[in-house]
């Protein structure tokens, strides 16, 4: 752009910045909003400074409002293109000529406009054919010499004064031989380079096109702007620089180079903005390193934004000064309704883009043929943000532009993320089908340029409580399209608004929380590992121990990630949607990737914990101790001897089968109803409309209008809404189940314990090698295998306290225990069950002559007698004691005393044997289901699909738990699985 470089011209006004302490205040770049209609009679609207300028003496505003003209009865004495001097006609009977440069005696009266009036049907002729002024109207040929200086007009019907530049150069209507004629004007030599670079560089295509528009009008626009301060020419030159993407190099005769030449020669500034030179369009902010950050982040806007309340302010009002490609000021235009949005849409949806906080994005595919027909010439926009403070005049803040296609010495300088390397500019266009025309202005262009991506970004001031933001930045990316077949070629265009804030503090706090809670998780996992080592009675730290620690740590770390992600989602949901004055803004989609990784980690680690829990439950050791004893002996005839021997009557096995079936049925009961959970969550999200809270806008409306724009979803908000809804409904179900259902309907866990007592069956559960649970079901009546009358009598006696209590200890009701057994007891247990385990082992260990049924029956009776004798303290070397757990032992889930000589039975009124069932692991299941639902939704953005897959997942794992749990129950209790129905 400069004679040498773009940076060179900044030196000419860098001293100004040093002299102004507030040189980078946002107020410096704001102007008062004025229109041509605001200027009144004695002022005109300066299209360069976008302000009203007072006319000179004896001058009034023209009809267009964009220039001054002499008052009625005054003629133009001197004109240099930028200003005029007026003189009153000396005779009252004289009128001003039509061209305004002379006075003439009127054949009739003088009109109110100071010009002669002719009768209707006549033509006023003020000059002879050679241009000499006449006293009366006559038609004569035009005379190009002094004093006529006239030439035929475009219609050839009248003589008009020649263009001033011709007269000034040769005192005639002929451009001097030493001068340069261009664009209908005559210029002195050596004022600008003799030749201009009329090539337009299309950087994306690496293509240079010789533009007919540039070659026809670039030199004349630059010369007229430099020599005559012609404002329209200056605007036209600036437009050519914009069409060349504000790009600059060491060449000083291209569009931006010529603009810079005029810029350096210009004097004064418009609107007290040093970058905005008098009579010139404002195209650049300068090229000082770090200038962009000072402009964009030095001082916030003087107004704040609020989402709610009486001071609600979410309206973003933009005004644009619109110019034609020829440099004519067309109008002030309110941005909105599609003027910067190429994609067609309803006005209501397009206007949603300018509601603060709404992440607006509109994309579509446009045909090249439509662009060629709809945009024969480019239109240029200078965009301003309207600042309306209470009881103050409306002011306009210039919106800086970041042109991604801008080049500096052949390098794309604005494509990096470092703000310090950016070069901010002004003025943009949407579609350029003109600069790529080579042969004629009516021919089809070789290349067109389209603003394919326009983004307006707002950045929130750090730690603001008043909704303050920094000046917005408009980022535009142009696509260069080589026109080959316009009917088939298309281009994708996007218009969006983006709101950002500094997320560093939130990231640091998240990392701190993750570090602290992660450290707590390590300690907790070590305690669980130590507890597990004690429960399996293994003092060695081996590979199995390390793997167990990693599994425990996976579960605890999953809880850490879950707490952090749910907390983060609820934080953004509450503080963004409910804030009065804007103090937080949602992270951008790119900034949400870290959050999504945390959710993925939580789900993966929780899956490991869930599968580990499932494996432990499917491998638990269990045995039903039958306390029933025969009541009498029955006679049995012995063949061959002819004698009858008496044997004890067999005890019915049906009670054991019944208890085993009940245990099989309660393996997968939960405190929540999975079907109701899925339906309820889906109902509130999709039907009630809570899913709309996850939209990237400040609205909390659950049912927005169908005509309104629907912004994209925020992954963080979507996760926050989904997880909160799933957890709330789940917790309400658990509360209802514990408070209402279990008390007034049925409690299957306690019912199972009661069933054991009535059936005279105790249950031994070993979840670890030397740790497990014991349910004491020994009947206080001695027998349970009886008829209905005796059973009812026994229950009545128990209800009236006419018999002993059900507890293991005398005068105790405690029936459930946590047990820590000795190695000796576990070894004996394994020896009894070992022959049965061999059946599933290698064939060389199996006794082929043994009957499997007899082995199972023998092992069952042996185990039943052994465990019954242990409970009855019949084995002194395998005795046990009963005690209460310490409070700290219950809190950390670890036993402090190691059972060396005697086993320890800990009183357990909380029925913690449910830990080997789904019932006792509801927290793990609830979190796993929540994460599964949310992960599927984050991947598909579809709550219905997530609900369906979550339900199927629950069904599959319930079938696996039922099927394999049934197999393990049959294997460990020696109950034939055919009886487990």
CA–CA distance, 549 with 559 (Å, rounded to integer): 15
Among 12-16, 410-414, 423-427, top mean pLDDT goes to 423-427
CA–CA distance, 129 with 157 (Å, rounded to integer): 11
Mean pLDDT of 399-428: 90
Residue 228, domain member (yes or no): no
Mean pLDDT of 544-559: 95
The number of folded domains in the chain is 1
The per-residue pLDDT for 973 is 85
Binning the chain into helix, strand and coil, the percentages to the nearest 5 are: 40, 20, 40
Closest CA to 35 of 366, 497, 384: 384
CA–CA distance, 578 with 572 (Å, rounded to integer): 10
Mean pLDDT of 541-546: 91
CA–CA distance, 195 with 190 (Å, rounded to integer): 11
CA–CA distance, 765 with 911 (Å, rounded to integer): 12
Average model confidence (pLDDT) across the chain: 86
The per-residue pLDDT for 634 is 56
Residue 150, domain member (yes or no): no
CA–CA distance, 295 with 398 (Å, rounded to integer): 11
The per-residue pLDDT for 23 is 44
More confident: 836 or 223: 223
CB 283 within 8 A of CB 241: yes
The per-residue pLDDT for 137 is 53
The per-residue pLDDT for 7 is 44
Statement: residue 157 has pLDDT above 60: no
CA–CA distance, 242 with 948 (Å, rounded to integer): 54
CB 32 within 8 A of CB 51: yes
Residue 629, domain member (yes or no): no
Domain that holds residue 428: 292-505
For β-strands 643-648 and 51-54, DSSP reports them as unpaired
CB 346 within 8 A of CB 401: no
CA–CA distance, 127 with 138 (Å, rounded to integer): 6
Mean pLDDT of 59-76: 88
| 390: Cβ contacts below 8 Å, ≥ 6 apart | none
Residue 310, domain member (yes or no): yes
H/E stretch holding 44 reads strand 43-46
CA–CA distance, 976 with 860 (Å, rounded to integer): 11
β-pair partners for 498: 457
Instruction: Tell me what percent of the residues of the chain surpass a pLDDT of 70.
Output: 90
β-pair partners for 367: 490
Per-residue confidence band for 540, with pLDDT thresholds at 50, 70 and 90: confident
Angle at 447 between CA 444 and CA 450, to 5 degrees: 110
Q: Which two tokens stand for residue 263?
A: 């810029």
- C-alpha distances in angstroms, 392 versus 145, 302, 317, 389, 395? 57, 12, 16, 5, 9
- C-alpha distances in angstroms, 340 versus 116, 360, 452, 454, 766? 47, 14, 11, 8, 72
Least confident of 374-378, 577-581, 637-641, 681-685: 637-641
Among 109-118, 129-138, 363-372, 780-789, top mean pLDDT goes to 363-372
880-923 pLDDT tens trace: 999 999 999 998 888 899 898 899 999 998 899 999 999 999 99
- C-alpha distances in angstroms, 852 versus 636, 846, 973? 26, 10, 15
Per-residue confidence band for 838, with pLDDT thresholds at 50, 70 and 90: low
Statement: residue 840 has pLDDT above 80: no
608-662 pLDDT tens trace: 999 999 999 999 999 999 998 877 665 555 555 555 565 666 778 888 999 999 9
Q: What are phi and psi of 371, to 5 degrees?
A: -70, -40
More confident: 850 or 292: 292
Tell me the whole-structure pTM to 2 decimals: 0.82
Residue 477, domain member (yes or no): yes
Statement: residue 549 has pLDDT above 90: yes
Please report how many Cα atoms fall inside a 13 Å half-sphere around the Cα of residue 884, on the Cβ side. 6
The per-residue pLDDT for 331 is 93
The per-residue pLDDT for 718 is 96
Statement: residue 865 has pLDDT above 70: yes
Mean pLDDT of 350-358: 91
Strand spans (E) along 816-929 = 816-820, 880-883, 903-907
The per-residue pLDDT for 727 is 97
The per-residue pLDDT for 140 is 54
Per-residue confidence band for 124, with pLDDT thresholds at 50, 70 and 90: confident
Strand spans (E) along 735-865 = 761-766, 771-775, 816-820
Provide the 8-state DSSP code for 818: E
For β-strands 407-408 and 380-387, DSSP reports them as unpaired
Per-residue confidence band for 164, with pLDDT thresholds at 50, 70 and 90: confident
The per-residue pLDDT for 794 is 80
The per-residue pLDDT for 4 is 40
CA–CA distance, 621 with 774 (Å, rounded to integer): 12
921-964 pLDDT tens trace: 999 999 999 999 999 999 999 999 999 999 999 999 999 999 99
CA–CA distance, 397 with 389 (Å, rounded to integer): 13
278-291 pLDDT tens trace: 999 999 998 787 88
Q: What are phi and psi of 696, to 5 degrees?
A: -85, 65
CB 335 within 8 A of CB 320: yes
For β-strands 490-500 and 447-459, DSSP reports them as parallel
Strand spans (E) along 400-486 = 401-403, 407-408, 411-412, 428-429, 431-432, 447-459, 473-482
Mean pLDDT of 305-313: 87
Q: Which two tokens stand for residue 526?
A: 């070590």
Statement: residue 257 has pLDDT above 50: yes
Residue 441, domain member (yes or no): yes
Closest CA to 573 of 677, 685, 691, 463: 691
Judged on CB neighbours under 10 Å (0-12, 13-18, 19+), 829 is buried
CB 425 within 8 A of CB 406: yes
Residue 368, domain member (yes or no): yes
H/E stretch holding 273 reads strand 273-277
Residue 420, domain member (yes or no): yes
578-587 pLDDT tens trace: 899 999 999 9
SS (H, E, C) 894-909: CCCCCCCCCEEEEECC
CA–CA distance, 600 with 650 (Å, rounded to integer): 58
The per-residue pLDDT for 156 is 45
Statement: residue 724 has pLDDT above 70: yes
DSSP letters for 671-728: SS-HHHHHHHHHIIIIII-GGGGGBSSS---SS--TTS--PPBPHHHHHHHHHHHHHH
Per-residue confidence band for 574, with pLDDT thresholds at 50, 70 and 90: very high
Mean pLDDT of 533-546: 90
CB 417 within 8 A of CB 50: no
């Amino acid at each position: 752009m400069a004679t040498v470089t773009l940076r060179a011209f900044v030196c000419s006004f860098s001293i100004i910045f040093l002299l102004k302490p507030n040189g980078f205040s946002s107020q410096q770049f704001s102007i008062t909003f004025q229109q041509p209609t605001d200027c009144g009679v004695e002022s005109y609207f300066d299209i360069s400074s976008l302000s009203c300028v007072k006319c000179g003496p004896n001058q009034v505003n023209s009809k267009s409002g964009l220039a001054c003209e002499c008052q009625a009865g005054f003629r133009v004495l001197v004109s240099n293109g930028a200003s005029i001097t007026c003189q009153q006609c000396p005779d009252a009977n004289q009128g001003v000529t039509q061209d305004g440069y002379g006075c003439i005696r009127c054949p009739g009266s003088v009109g109110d406009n100071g010009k002669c009036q002719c009768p209707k049907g006549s033509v006023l002729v003020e000059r002879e054919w050679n241009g000499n002024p006449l006293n009366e109207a006559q038609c004569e040929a035009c005379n190009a010499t002094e004093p006529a200086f006239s030439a035929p007009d475009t219609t050839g019907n009248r003589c008009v004064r020649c263009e001033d530049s011709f007269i000034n150069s040769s005192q005639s209507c002929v451009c001097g031989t030493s001068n340069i004629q261009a664009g209908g004007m005559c210029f002195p030599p050596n004022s600008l380079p003799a030749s201009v670079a009329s090539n337009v560089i299309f950087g994306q295509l690496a293509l240079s096109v010789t533009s007919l528009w540039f070659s026809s009008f670039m030199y004349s626009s630059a010369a007229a702007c430099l020599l005559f301060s012609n404002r329209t020419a200056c605007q036209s030159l600036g437009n050519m620089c914009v069409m060349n993407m504000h790009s600059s190099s060491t060449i000083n005769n291209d569009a931006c180079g010529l603009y810079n030449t005029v810029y350096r020669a210009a004097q004064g500034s418009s609107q007290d903005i040093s970058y905005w030179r008098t009579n010139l369009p404002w195209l650049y902010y300068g090229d000082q390193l770090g200038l962009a950050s000072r402009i964009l982040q030095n001082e916030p806007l003087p107004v704040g934004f609020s989402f709610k309340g009486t001071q609600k302010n979410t309206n973003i009002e933009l005004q644009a000064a619109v110019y034609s490609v020829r440099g004519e000021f067309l109008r002030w235009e309110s941005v909105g309704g599609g003027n910067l949005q190429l994609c067609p849409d309803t006005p209501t949806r397009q206007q949603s883009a300018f509601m603060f906080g709404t992440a607006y994005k509109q994309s579509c595919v446009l045909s090249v043929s439509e662009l060629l027909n709809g945009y024969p010439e480019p239109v240029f926009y200078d965009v301003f943000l309207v600042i309306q403070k209470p009881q103050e005049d409306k002011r306009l803040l210039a919106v800086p532009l970041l042109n991604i296609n801008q080049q500096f010495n052949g390098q794309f300088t604005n494509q990096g993320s470092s703000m310090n390397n950016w070069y901010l500019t002004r003025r943009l266009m949407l579609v350029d089908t003109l600069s790529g025309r080579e042969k004629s202005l009516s021919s089809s262009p070789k290349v067109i340029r389209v603003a394919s991506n326009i983004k307006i970004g707002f950045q929130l001031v750090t730690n603001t409580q008043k909704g303050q933001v920094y000046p917005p930045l408009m980022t535009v990316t142009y696509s260069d399209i080589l026109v080959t077949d316009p009917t088939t070629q298309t281009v994708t265009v996007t218009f969006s608004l983006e709101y950002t804030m500094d997320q560093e503090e939130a990231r640091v706090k998240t990392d701190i929380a993750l570090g602290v809670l992660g450290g707590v998780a390590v300690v907790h996992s070590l305690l669980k590992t130590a507890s597990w080592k004690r429960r399996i009675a293994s003092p060695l730290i081996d590979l199995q121990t390390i793997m167990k620690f990693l599994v425990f740590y996976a579960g605890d770390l999953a809880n850490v990630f879950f707490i952090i992600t749910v907390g983060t989602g609820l934080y953004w949901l509450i503080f963004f949607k409910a804030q009065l004055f804007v103090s937080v803004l949602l992270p951008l989609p790119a900034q949400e990737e870290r959050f999504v990784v945390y959710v993925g980690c939580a789900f993966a680690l929780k899956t490991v914990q869930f599968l580990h829990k499932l494996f432990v439950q499917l491998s638990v050791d269990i045995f039903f101790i039958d306390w029933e004893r025969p009541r009498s002996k029955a006679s049995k005839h012995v063949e061959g001897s002819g004698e009858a021997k008496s044997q004890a009557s067999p005890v019915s096995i049906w009670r054991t089968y019944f208890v085993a079936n009940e245990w099989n049925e309660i393996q997968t009961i939960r405190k929540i109803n999975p079907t109701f959970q899925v339906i309820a969550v889906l109902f509130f999200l999709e039907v009630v409309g809570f899913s709309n809270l996850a939209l990237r806008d400040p609205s909390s409306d659950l049912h927005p209008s169908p005509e309104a724009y629907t912004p994209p979803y925020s992954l963080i908000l979507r996760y926050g809404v989904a997880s909160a809804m799933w957890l709330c409904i789940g917790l309400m179900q658990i509360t209802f189940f514990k408070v209402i259902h279990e008390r007034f309907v049925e409690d299957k866990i306690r019912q199972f314990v009661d069933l054991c007592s009535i059936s005279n069956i105790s249950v031994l559960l070993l979840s670890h090698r030397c740790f497990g649970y014991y349910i004491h079901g020994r009947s206080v009546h001695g027998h349970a295998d009886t008829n209905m009358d005796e059973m009812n009598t026994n229950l009545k006696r128990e209800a009236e306290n006419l018999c002993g209590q059900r507890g293991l200890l005398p005068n105790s009701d405690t029936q459930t225990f946590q047990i820590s057994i000795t190695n000796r007891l576990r070894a004996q247990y394994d020896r009894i069950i070992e022959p049965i385990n061999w059946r599933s082992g290698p064939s060389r260990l199996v006794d082929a002559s043994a009957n499997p049924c007899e082995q199972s029956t023998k092992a069952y009776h042996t185990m039943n007698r052994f465990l019954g004798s242990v409970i009855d303290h019949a084995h002194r070397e395998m005795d046990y004691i009963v005690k209460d757990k310490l409070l700290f032992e219950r809190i950390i889930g670890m036993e402090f005393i190691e059972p060396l000589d005697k086993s320890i039975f800990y009183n357990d009124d909380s029925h913690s044997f449910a830990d080997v069932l789904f019932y006792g692991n509801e927290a793990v299941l609830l979190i796993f289901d929540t994460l599964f639902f949310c992960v599927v939704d984050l991947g598909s953005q579809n709550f219905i699909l997530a609900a369906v897959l979550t339900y199927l997942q629950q069904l599959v794992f319930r079938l696996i738990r039922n099927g394999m749990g049934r197999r393990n129950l049959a294997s460990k209790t020696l109950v034939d699985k055919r009886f487990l129905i």
